[in-house]
Amino acid sequence: MRPSEKGWLKEYLDFRKDLLVNFTHTAAQTGSHPEHSLYRMVQPTGLMYGQTVSSLDHPDHENWNEKDKMKILLAESLISSSLLFNNNTIKSADEMTGVIVRTLENIGNFYNNIFPELNTPSKSLFGKKKTPLEVAEKILDKRIERTSEYQGNFWTYFFHNSLLFLDVFIFGQWIHTNADKIVADFFRYEREELRFSVVKVIAAASHANKEVVYEEKKLLDFFLHSTDLSAEKRKEAIKIFERGIDISEIHLPAENSWILKKFFLEMAVLTIWADKRVEQGEMDFLKRFATHLGFGDEDLENSLIAIEGFVLEHWEELGHLQNKQDYNQVSEQFIKRVARIAEKNKGRLMKELQESEEMMMLLKKARSNELTLEEKEKMRRELIAILKKVPTFVIISLPQKFLTLPILLKILPRNIFSEGVN
């Protein structure tokens, strides 16, 4: 399968059908809010940050280029959004097929109405009616063609392509409406306003320490080339960036959502990361911005954990970010943040530990014998599974590769094993 060739979407949906059914069942079982589930699915893939670092398990994925991967991530995110907000539980592959067909129709209608520059007719030149799958495939091809090629700069790629997340967000709202002209006009307006709000977030974060450095000035250039803003809006964006902007002026829809606010907050965090250092004035700004969004200190801390975990997990793939952040510094910050959460949830972790027969067996053996490499790996996987029971990590994805056994032992409360085994 090649995402650059005709018929890629059908092949991919056939490949992913069982996994998508399992995904919706898992989300239903955890009882998570759909937006929390969507965040948990989208954030680790890199789509929110304009990246393509997700572990795509298709056998051909190593032959895909960056745009191929981005196309797959966008398709999967749009479909997952539709499934998560589906009111009825999907019980079989046939029911899944029906939902997918309706989702594909929605994707075609959504982009044709809200992104007129991607307009794709439902009939061929010879008058033959196209299937929803054919229309959706062509539209997704066009959408990804308008994203940026990777050219060795994390920030260029980030600000060009992170706007794809707004597609997913607005689509999640669109599928609940009757798509008449008034509704379409509203969503086109919202699309422009939300994109312009991202400009304001970048400007506000860049001015957080009262000094706009070279790296931050480049951010606006990168972003303006990707937004399709009108000439008038571009002029306004440049003025805003030159003088800064008060947090209160950043637009949020009246029905603002948790995941949209998370996106804005994490955009601000990454903007502040652009000049290598995070100073106290910038942390104060992030706290004020989090409060403006309706978040508390814990929500900000969780976003910092999510971003640090994402970067640590994909450090080698994000080589273009390595000259901006120091690995050891990010690692230490992440370990301290997660350790604080583990300490707060010590009782829950100890209970989970005691209820895991495999962990108890391994801990008892470790008291008198050296564990084998296989047993150490089992212990590592089991400890991550236990950490995932903490409410914070139901929403935030933990970096699997980064969390080696020695790092997990740094994170978990010091006496948890001695108290847990007794």
3 state SS for 254-278: CCCCHHHHHHHHHHHHHHHHCCCCC
In degrees and rounded to multiples of 5, residue 248 shows phi and psi of: -65, -15
The residue length of the chain stands at: 422
- Rounded to whole angstroms, the Cα distance separating 245 from 278 reads 20
Residue 54 and residue 90 in one domain: yes
Q: For 332-352, how does the pLDDT look when each residue is reduced to its tens digit (9 = 90+)?
A: 889 999 999 999 999 999 898
Give the domain-ending residue among 107, 137, 172: 172
Inter-CA distances, 165 with 153, 168, 196, 198, 252, Å: 20, 5, 14, 12, 16
| DSSP annotation of 416 | H
Residue 179 has a CB neighbour count (10 Å cut-off) of 16
| pLDDT in the model for residue 407 | 92
Question: Using an 8 Å Cβ cutoff, are 270 and 158 in contact?
Answer: yes
| pLDDT in the model for residue 61 | 75
Give the domain-ending residue among 172, 190, 206: 172
Residue 30 and residue 96 in one domain: yes
| DSSP annotation of 176 | T
**What type of residue sits at position 142?**
K
**What type of residue sits at position 218?**
K
Q: What is the pTM for the complete model shown? A: 0.85
Q: Which two tokens stand for residue 387?
A: 């950490």
Residue 230 and residue 280 in one domain: yes
What is the number of structural domains in the chain? Answer: 3
Residue 156 and residue 24 in one domain: yes
Q: E strand or H helix at 359, and its extent? A: helix 357-366
Residue 316 and residue 269 in one domain: no
Question: Using an 8 Å Cβ cutoff, are 54 and 73 in contact?
Answer: yes
Residue 108 and residue 189 in one domain: no
Query: Block means of pLDDT (10 residues each) for the chain, length 422 residues?
Result: 85 74 53 80 83 69 81 88 72 74 88 89 81 90 77 59 86 78 83 84 81 61 65 81 82 76 90 71 91 92 91 72 67 92 92 87 81 90 91 89 90 76 54
Residue 142 and residue 100 in one domain: yes
Question: Using an 8 Å Cβ cutoff, are 362 and 353 in contact?
Answer: no
Question: Using an 8 Å Cβ cutoff, are 247 and 207 in contact?
Answer: no
Domain that holds residue 70: 1-172
Residue 138 and residue 17 in one domain: yes
| pLDDT in the model for residue 29 | 47
Alpha-helix residue ranges (DSSP H) falling in 177-296? 181-206, 214-224, 231-243, 258-273, 280-292
**What type of residue sits at position 149?**
E
Residue 16 and residue 156 in one domain: yes
Give the domain-ending residue among 141, 172, 203: 172
Helix (H, G, I), strand (E, B) or coil at 387: helix
Residue 163 and residue 18 in one domain: yes
CA 159 to centroid of chain Cα atoms: 14
Residue 20 and residue 162 in one domain: yes
Q: Which two tokens stand for residue 321?
A: 């970010």
Residue 188 and residue 283 in one domain: yes
Inter-CA distances, 354 with 315, 344, 375, 382, 408, Å: 34, 18, 18, 12, 17
| pLDDT in the model for residue 317 | 66
